[in-house]
Structure 1
Amino acid sequence: MKIASWKPATLADAVSLAALFRRVEAAAPVGLEQHADDVTTRLAALGPELGSGTRVGRDDDGDVAAYGEVAEMGEVDDVLRIRLANVVRPDTANDVRAELYQWLLGQAEQVRQVRGSAQAAVLGTRCAENDRVGHELLARHGFELVRHERDLVLALPESLPTEVLPPGLVSSPVDERYEELARLAHNEAYADSPSAIRPDQRTWPAHAIAHPRFLPDLSCLVLVEADGAENPVAGFLFALADDDTEKPTAVLHCLGSRVPWRRRGLATAMITHALRRARSAGFQQVRLRVSDTNPAALALYRKLGFVGSGRGYAVLMRRLGPDAS
């Protein structure tokens, strides 16, 4: 199947894109949004880049068959991070994917050049584990594998322990008072993960409390009680609802602790808090995603009873700029 026309995406494309994403996820999952409201949030988060940074391909019948996206994800250590999405319906010809990658790389280079020819950038994208053609295309375009993301699941037991925080720390609901402090804590917590997304102020809300499936009752912050802390947020957990499973499922979407507070039981306490709230809210299972480059987190989740679901995807990256070689 070939593409009859290409146009920039608009918010009106959310329903059609959600249908495309569901079809792709069924064949080669990469963690795409599968509901129209989630896709709308994704598109809206692009802001002014929506017109120039997206491309929707339609077949001869007018159905959406391909989607490309170039999204700035903030700057860390003077390196611009750019997310690429190449989503193509399974029955689409492979040369369409190759053409779309060429467009994505060209757009990413334009984004980098706007910052100046000396600006370094890192491109990141996902590829399903079983997508051999996709991996080959990315390798030809200079992308290298940096990690695998694994999906873990826990069937909620009848009995759960009570969360216990170290002295001097207190659990708090997530609210707007701490939104910017939570973003800073998130980015600090993931600073030692070179391929992690560290949102800026514009993209952060869709990553957290503005996400359409955000679960405030399951989410929490861990705060330092002592006055005078530059950032009182020591840890954070943001949970989302997952409507794509037969069993009522909650997702531990984003979880972390700042470096000074690691290995002190914060993660265990926050997860236990979420599990207890999830069971009370009627959820039957909880999912989360973990990188194979984080063995300590994987060991903790397995200790808490999480097991592999058999789903996951690869994350690949490529550098752009004067030191790209």
Structure 2
Amino acid sequence: MTVDLANLTRRPIAPGDAAPLAELLNAIEVVDVFGEYYSEEDATDQINAPLLDLERGTVGVFNGDRMVGYSSAAHKLLVEDVHRVTVSGGVHPEYRRRGLGAELLAAGIASARALHAIHHPGLPLAVDAQNNALNDSARACYQAAGMTPCRWYSHMRHPLGAAVVDVPTPDGLVVEGYSVHNDAEFFAVSNEAVLDRWGGVSVPLEQWRAFVGWPAFRPDLSFLLRDVDSGAAAGMLLTCSWGADTAATGVRDAHFTRIGTRRADRKRGVASALISHALRSARDAGFDRASIEVDADSPTASNGLYQRAGFSVARTEVRYTLNA
């Protein structure tokens, strides 16, 4: 197919673009394999993310009503030492190898700089992007823009069934499910735990509310461990499951999106007990597998934790960064 890129329309993504965005993301998934499929509802959630500045942070490329490429820069509201802006994007397979990917990456980096100048001008800026480690074209595009690999992430899967390792709840702790009554404790544990991860920063309450409001969020498969004596929350695990993934693959996947342990409760077996409980619950609820994304260089050695629980690596993604 011959397409004159100059005749394509470029504009910020708008709330009404959910259907063409979902179609584009699903076409990209077939080739690039991120393990993610989108319904129109899922794309709506992405577009309506609380901190996404559509006007300054996004670009959609259209051929008529069809979206054929996009870029998105997501700034952070709460920052420690470095403002890390994550840039995502992609090009429809039929429109590749014409320079559109490089154009969109440049647009994403420019958006990151503009957002940084508004929100955190006094801090250093790092622009991050992540892609499948096997995507040679993406790697070449990032490197041409001056981005270098800085982190590797393992996408791990668990087959459930007999592979679930039964880990008892440690003495002095009790499991309880997610509810509106303990939501604030889930939020607090998540924000404390993330600070010990590379690039981790706390999320504002508005962002948390949007997360637990996703249709994909599974409160019935999300759990808190509480210390019986003190009454304080020791750790938490949140699970999501996307209907679009199941419709496309025929596999019901319970994705553990957040796992965290308070610093004071580490070395008590909190994470192992939560993972075991969540795996048993997912299996009993009829799920086919569980999954999680893990920082391969995690200071808490989480890869080993999940391997002992029966997870194995399905694919690897690379984080690229540009100190801008």
1:74 maps to 2:77:
yes
**Match for residue 269 of structure 2?**
265
1:140 and 2:144 equivalent? yes
Once the two structures are superposed, what CA deviation does each residue of 1:88-113 show, in whole Å capped at 9, x if it has no partner? 11222441111112221222111111
Instruction: Give the TM-score, by structure 2 length.
Output: 0.87
Q: CA deviation at 1:150?
A: 1.8
Say which structure is richer in helix.
2
Answer yes or no: is the 8 Å Cα contact 1:251–1:287 preserved in 2: yes
Give the superposed CA RMSD: 2.4
Cα separation, 1, equivalents of 2:176 and 2:308: 25
5+ long unaligned stretches in structure 1: 321-325
Q: Displacement of 1:251 after TM fit?
A: 1.3
Partner of 1:174: 178
Residue number among 281, 286, 289 corresponding to 2:285 in the alignment? 281
Output the amino acid matched with 1:264: R
* Aligned residues between the structures: 314
How many angstroms does 1:78 deviate by?
A: 4.1
C-alpha separation between the residues in 1 aligned to 2:203 and 2:90? Answer: 22
Query: Which of 31, 46, 62 is matched with 1:27 structurally?
Result: 31
| CA deviation string 1:147-189 (max 9, x = no partner) | 2222222222248565533333222222233334423322321
Determine the structure 1 residue equivalent to 2:258.
254
Does 2:22 correspond to 1:18? yes
Distance 1:166 1:172 in 2: 14
CA contact (8 A) 1:41 1:212 kept: no
Could you list the structure 1 runs, at least 4 aligned residues long, displaced by more than 4 angstroms after superposition.
158-163
Candidates 103, 123, 130, aligned match of 1:126? 130
Residues 120 and 183 of structure 1: CA distance in aligned 2, closer, same or farther (over 3 Å): farther
With over 3 angstroms needed to count, the CA separation of the structure-2 counterparts of 1:289 and 1:117, relative to structure 1, is closer
Alpha-carbon separation, structure 1, partners of 2:123 and 2:309: 43
Structure 2, unmatched stretches of 5+, are none
Deviation at 1:68, TM superposition (A): 1.0
Q: Distance in 2 between matches of 1:137 and 1:291?
A: 23
Q: Take 2:27 and 2:201, find their aligned partners in 1: how far apart are those partners?
A: 26
The one-letter code sitting in structure 2 at the alignment partner of 1:128 is: N
1:214 Cα shift?
1.1
Distance across 2 between alignment mates of 1:135 and 1:159 = 35
TM-score normalised according to structure 1 size? 0.87
Q: What corresponds to 2:309 in structure 1?
A: 304
Residues 173, 47 of structure 1: alpha-carbon distance in 2 compared, 3 angstrom cutoff: same
1-side partners of 2:81 and 2:144: how far apart? 27
Aligned counterparts of 2:198 and 2:164: Cα–Cα separation in 1: 35
Give, as a single letter, the amino acid of the residue that structure 2 aligns with 1:20.
Answer: L
Q: Structure 1 residue 97 and structure 2 residue 98: aligned?
A: no
- Partner SS, residue 103 of structure 1: helix
Question: Does the C-alpha gap of structure 1 residues 293 and 48 become closer, same or farther in structure 2, counting only changes over 3 Å?
Answer: closer
Match for 2:313: what amino acid?
G
Larger mean CA deviation between 26-35 and 63-72 belongs to 26-35
* Corresponding letter in the other structure for 1:297: S
Between the aligned residues of both structures, percent identity stands at 24
C-alpha distance in 2, partners of 1:264/1:285? Answer: 26
Check whether the contact 1:172–1:220 (CA below 8 A) recurs between aligned residues: yes
Per-residue deviation, 1:293: 0.9
